[in-house]
Amino acid sequence: MVPLSSEGSLTGKAAIVTGGGSGLGRASAIALARAGAHVTVADVNEAGGKETAALVFEEAGGDAEFVRSDVTREEDVEQLVDRAVGRWGRLDCAVNNAGMTGPNGFTADYTLEQWNTTIGLNLTGVFLSLKYEIPALLASGGGSIVNMASGAGLVGFAGLPAYVASKHGVVGLTKAAALEYAQQGIRINAICPGSTRTPMLEGFMGGDPNIERAMTAGIPLGRLGRPDEIAEAVVWLCSDASSFVLGHAMAVDGGSVIQ
Ligand SMILES: NC(=O)c1ccc[n+]([C@@H]2O[C@H](COP(=O)([O-])OP(=O)(O)OC[C@H]3O[C@@H](n4cnc5c(N)ncnc54)[C@H](O)[C@@H]3O)[C@@H](O)[C@H]2O)c1
């Protein structure tokens, strides 16, 4: 019998969260620790990553280690996974969450550099993370990986061509990798958050109440999401409570992409 609540659902497990120094990554790290996991927090932002590791202890009474890691650099990702396995003796879960919206602009106005930077972080970063996490999970006898996609991985948005393409790519990569490793005990899924109040979204809205009103108007529940609401889904997908869920791109978005 699996527990109905997430309490203790990850006891003794070890997890990596990329982009764990802020927003959804921070909330995921804290929620995973509340569920009992040891967490390796990875980020390029040292101050944010260390603060998350401290919050894991203060808010969840859990164990976390911060590792500075840029998910666009293969050697960083390889070292990150080695550090996590070295610290906790195993790897059971990973949340590939580091990402950015990239600049606003229509496709013909986008520069190749803008395109490559956004795809490099949002899509290639997830590929590199999977490449090194999967062997570590196999060595631990299986586990669960959650890739942070977006509603922009399910439907189009004008003015964010690389973001939309990268997040559709994350959903596609999730499905391909899920099929490849299903029989070896690894479940790979994606979460497609709707607009959720994090530093990234605050930056995107730029303090303009009209933008916030317009975004909220597109959400049937009538409000932005909270990071802890996305983190709940992360914990569920990481735990055995979701043992029959594979290759799924799960919208957690107040109903934004219901068609
Ligand atoms: N907030 C939302 O409304 C929303 C909606 C849909 C999807 N998402 C996705 O959720 C994820 C997290 O978003 P957030 O809102 O928490 O953003 P955020 O900006 O608050 O946090 C992102 C974190 O990623 C880190 N990061 C950036 N580049 C990195 C790199 N090369 N290597 C490692 N870490 C790096 C940043 O330092 C930051 O700590 C992103 O993939 C984003 O696309 C967010």
Ligand 1 atom 16, closest CA: 23
Q: What is the pLDDT of residues 63-108, one digit of tens each?
A: 999 999 999 999 999 999 999 999 999 999 999 999 999 999 999 9
4, part of any domain: no
* Residue corresponding to tokens 């190749």: 112
Active-site residue, 110 included: no
- Is residue 135 in a domain? yes
pLDDT in tens, 136-187: 999 999 999 999 999 999 999 999 999 999 999 999 999 999 999 999 999 9
Whether residue 3 is contained in a domain is answered as: no
- Domain hosting residue 191, numbered range: 14-252
Considering its fold, how many domains does the chain have in total? Answer: 1
Would the pLDDT of 247 be above 90? yes
**Could you tell me if residue 257 is inside a domain?**
no
State which ligand 1 atom lies nearest to the alpha carbon of 45: 37
What is the CATH classification number for the domain harbouring 248?
3.40.50.720
On whether residue 42 sits in a domain, the answer given is yes
In a domain, 259, yes or no: no
Q: Is 134 in the pocket of ligand 1 (CB under 6 A)?
A: no
Share of the chain above pLDDT 70, in %: 98
Q: Is residue 87 part of a domain?
A: yes
| Ligand 1 pocket member 25 (CB < 6 A) | yes
